[in-house]
Structure 1
């Protein structure tokens, strides 16, 4: 509870934060005062400054200077606040709350009335140490963890109320709302789609995750919510900011990916080659996803393209890259890469290796399912490039990648006879963890390499909810081939009882455009080339290409020649 009072001793307005009930006896009162004084010593810009800790008629209180501030409850109207106004306030409070949690102190009663707004100094949280801990609170680590998770849930409800302008479940008291949400109740709290302010999809995903009906999907601690909000704010407010800027900084220091295991042997083999054809050289290079991407980055840089007179077209084959930089350039790139697994521990390295194998399989599937006449290496690389953001996140943000995978997993039904709870979409999970879509990160990396707006759309998969009707250009068809292949490979992560339906939807989406059948897709999902006898040399192995007809290339190259790059 928060009360506005006047202190006649100093002619000053104060805000008193009180517990919901009096301590039971003198010992309990003294215990409360000791805890409150300990909490008041925590100093952080996101926490309100305590003026006094005391008691009156056995009612303990913590006093704060009113000054020129107002509480969020006072300022909050039925229109709510715009996201750009709310999120900086929330970030300041979340940083203070996380600081307190790390000091072993939870709030226990986060409310809109406990957030203090001041012109020019942001928002601060009052009431730390005010609430009486639950009787079941033993004070151990599990109890502290539960209390911290409840604080984060309450902050999610405060954000919901502030963005929507309407209290969740029409209850302004977050404690009452929490009692009606799982696991205590059955009410679901989700941001409405209508309101005075437009809520960006990424921010909506963050807030909805904070109040998710599934406990396992909610934020585990204040830091994870703070990082997601900070990522959204910096990405939304500053092009190339937030996780994008952090990722690019890490890439400059450590590269996009490490060399694959066996990189030393490949480097020795490259050193022994002098007069091999570029097709044979590209076969060696393309076995290493990190080296493949490093060569694409090198040759698509504006300085190198200009120096070698390659025009404005993007380079999307390793054959063309080797033409441009020569064998010595390939050797330099190979020897400059970090050895496997870079800074990753064993578990994270295994996760990255597993993802790389899936990405390589997607490349092979794209070759198997591509329409006739399209270059095998181009479609192979495009299928890999559509996973650029996923690979970058797995290598540079492995903990966040694990969170995203966990959020995407379905959960068993809460009660017998009910359907299972579906996991989040990849986009929603990425928003909730990073504050930005994982494909946006991949696009940022490709743009940093020098790929232009002609090529960048091909590096994004077709959204699962979007229909696939036709392909107007070669670029469209190449994108669809790569996107289809990635969906086929994604079927391997789908629960077995949903896999057949998933593959059937893939055929419904892409069958007419790409001319593929359900049987071909089912074989490809098992890692079996549907047309081995017809295209074994050109499609089953990356880097070997049919020479019977010209290779269709992205429109970034002159469409009259469509010469392979």
Structure 2
């Protein structure tokens, strides 16, 4: 009997039963799966008196040395003990055919489960794949690979416990003369990356409810995908259940056409998928729970200045005015956030949270007192905390960009709104990014890499890059705004601030509003978008600034001239423009993110150029007049009493 082809024959007539098919001592009962590399048979073992699952290679080893190597690797897998790796009953051979036997009681294959029930919910699918990745990652770390992951490689028990089946069954085919003591198989890393790609296809198969590229063999799908073939594998929109956006991003990254964009390790794939699954199961799970633990141990951010500690050791600070102390505190982002956390948490404990969230630093200092400020400064870890020098430089660069965004937001704020409130809301809109860079610098680097545009090809000369939200979903399983919002909620900063620190989505339209909270949120969102635009090369930078201006022009009553005056603080402002930010916040620090600011003549030339551009590039924003007038919204805001525009005070 040929072991490579043994289809189950139909039951014969009662008078002439069908001949029993055998493989050695095993009675063959059903072919569970067959691919180009391996087979799974349901068999009965008369010696043990139970059903087993037999995994065999599709092609027998071509030499005694290859057979010995196969048995050696299979016996190595049999020694691995993990809850998500199927326990091996026996490793043996029948003539030249080696096999690995598993207990049928472990459960049914994924093929069998999908055949007998409707499509599972996305959360259930994620749970299955997470368990599979747990076992696969453990095997990879033990220097073993699968090399032929199929739907039948995932076995599900009656209690939904998942195990990996068939490790090391499909091995490389080498020439018969190869010395296996010198070169035994392909590098484990390369095989592991292919395994992870197949797990992504497995997740795609479960969520979509249909075969990937109409192929049952996932190895055949890999051969058709780029860069080996020309096919793209993306999660469609016609699925049995709605697919949440984070899960869609994770699945699409796993099968991305660019190999550098995919998951290269099972642990990375597992972390993203498990982060989303846990966050869905409980409000503060996954990366959020891990972040909360780090906040308790090492704080939110390291202090960038020791000035307050030096001054606090003498009586000099006692003679400082509150506004001067506020300027000193706002220079240290970690201390600013710590004071906000302490004062609002104190209000929450005293039952005074109904008075609103405190966002003004001078008011926070007045409420905590000098001793409270000194205690907050001593509680912070000194710079750079646990970061390496390279990671510290990246965090410092991010802080500079956030400070720059706060300065721009102050220049754009509507008349009557507090400058410190606008600055701190802008910082809070970047809280998730700051915490990610400090506590998870490797994940932050991975997100930046995913946001880089892929290499252009002849078929796709202008490839689109992954958005920050999609990249965060693919790495963490949640977006960065959710990280920041979870921490703000933990700090008792109030529902109004939780709404204001949600940045406006770049893809969503910006609508006019009369709400103070929405007006501040949009102003700070525009400032953050402008700072992001300043990172682009010059041609794209100009287009991005003009696009952001057009989106926010009507709701905020701003034009290109006001945008350029805010980005270039040195440019002269008209009498009806808003006042400049405080001196302690207007200092620009040089960096890659700063726009070049020349002397006064150059600033005037930029302003004139902006006015000329308005007349022919953005008529809907500023019209054809050389100096845009204040909008009706600004006039209405100016006529309101100042107490109604306190921004949460």
From 74, 92, 107, the equivalent of 1:54 is: 92
Q: Secondary structure at the match of 1:22?
A: coil
- What's 1:184 paired with? 228
Deviates more, 1:177-186 or 1:528-537: 528-537
Alpha carbons of structure 1 residues 531 and 44: separation in structure 2 relative to 1, 3 Å = farther
Alpha carbons of structure 1 residues 412 and 522: separation in structure 2 relative to 1, 3 Å = farther
Deviates more, 1:458-467 or 1:20-29: 20-29
Name the CA distance, whole Å, in 1 between partners of 2:504 and 2:183: 50
Alpha carbons of structure 1 residues 564 and 242: separation in structure 2 relative to 1, 3 Å = closer
Offset of residue 198 of structure 1:
1.9
- What's 1:255 paired with? 299
Q: Secondary structure at the match of 1:76?
A: helix
From 460, 466, 470, the equivalent of 1:428 is: 470
1:24 aligns with 2:62: yes
TM alignment of 1:222-233, pairs within 5 A: 222-233=266-277
| RMSD (CA atoms) | 2.7
TM alignment of 1:240-279, pairs within 5 A: 240-260=284-304, 263-271=305-313, 272-279=316-323
1:108 aligns with 2:147: yes
What are the superposed Cα offsets for residues 39-89 of structure 1, whole Å, 9 maximum, x if unpaired?
Answer: 221111111011111122312111111026110011114843212222222
Name the CA distance, whole Å, in 1 between partners of 2:114 and 2:526: 47
Offset of residue 472 of structure 1:
2.1
Stretches of structure 2 lacking an aligned partner (at least 5 in a row): 1-38, 588-633
Name the CA distance, whole Å, in 1 between partners of 2:102 and 2:549: 64
What are the superposed Cα offsets for residues 225-276 of structure 1, whole Å, 9 maximum, x if unpaired?
Answer: 111111111111011111111111111111110101xx22232235522132
- What's 1:315 paired with? 358
Asked whether the 8 Å contact 2:422–2:520 carries over to 1, the reply is: yes
Name the CA distance, whole Å, in 1 between partners of 2:647 and 2:462: 51
From 389, 393, 400, the equivalent of 2:436 is: 393
- What's 2:17 paired with? none
- What's 1:297 paired with? 341
Asked whether the 8 Å contact 1:282–1:543 carries over to 2, the reply is: no
From 40, 47, 72, the equivalent of 1:2 is: 40
Q: Secondary structure at the match of 2:105?
A: coil
TM alignment of 1:357-372, pairs within 5 A: 357-372=400-415
Name the CA distance, whole Å, in 2 between partners of 1:317 and 1:532: 27
- TM-score normalised over the length of structure 2: 0.80
Alpha carbons of structure 1 residues 543 and 413: separation in structure 2 relative to 1, 3 Å = closer
Offset of residue 305 of structure 1:
4.9
Name the CA distance, whole Å, in 1 between partners of 2:355 and 2:296: 24
1:327 aligns with 2:370: yes
Name the CA distance, whole Å, in 2 between partners of 1:257 and 1:431: 23
Alpha carbons of structure 1 residues 543 and 507: separation in structure 2 relative to 1, 3 Å = closer
Asked whether the 8 Å contact 2:418–2:646 carries over to 1, the reply is: no
TM alignment of 1:205-216, pairs within 5 A: 205-216=249-260
TM alignment of 1:162-201, pairs within 5 A: 162-201=206-245
From 159, 163, 186, the equivalent of 1:120 is: 159
- What's 1:486 paired with? 528
TM alignment of 1:10-89, pairs within 5 A: 10-67=48-105, 69-77=107-115, 79-89=118-128
Alpha carbons of structure 1 residues 452 and 17: separation in structure 2 relative to 1, 3 Å = same
1:151 aligns with 2:189: no
- What's 1:500 paired with? 542
- What's 2:13 paired with? none
Name the CA distance, whole Å, in 2 between partners of 1:495 and 1:97: 42
Q: Secondary structure at the match of 1:463?
A: coil
From 388, 402, 411, the equivalent of 1:345 is: 388
1:440 aligns with 2:482: yes
Alpha carbons of structure 1 residues 311 and 172: separation in structure 2 relative to 1, 3 Å = same
Name the CA distance, whole Å, in 1 between partners of 2:574 and 2:325: 23
What are the superposed Cα offsets for residues 463-511 of structure 1, whole Å, 9 maximum, x if unpaired?
Answer: 1111012022111110011000000001133344422222221011112
Deviates more, 1:120-129 or 1:270-279: 270-279
- TM-score normalised over the length of structure 1: 0.92
- What's 1:542 paired with? 585
Offset of residue 525 of structure 1:
4.9
Asked whether the 8 Å contact 1:4–1:13 carries over to 2, the reply is: yes
Deviates more, 1:73-82 or 1:479-488: 73-82
Asked whether the 8 Å contact 1:430–1:436 carries over to 2, the reply is: yes
Deviates more, 1:153-162 or 1:49-58: 49-58
Alpha carbons of structure 1 residues 384 and 60: separation in structure 2 relative to 1, 3 Å = same
Deviates more, 1:19-28 or 1:393-402: 19-28
Q: Secondary structure at the match of 1:172?
A: coil
Stretches of structure 1 lacking an aligned partner (at least 5 in a row): none
Name the CA distance, whole Å, in 1 between partners of 2:54 and 2:257: 33
Name the CA distance, whole Å, in 1 between partners of 2:112 and 2:422: 58
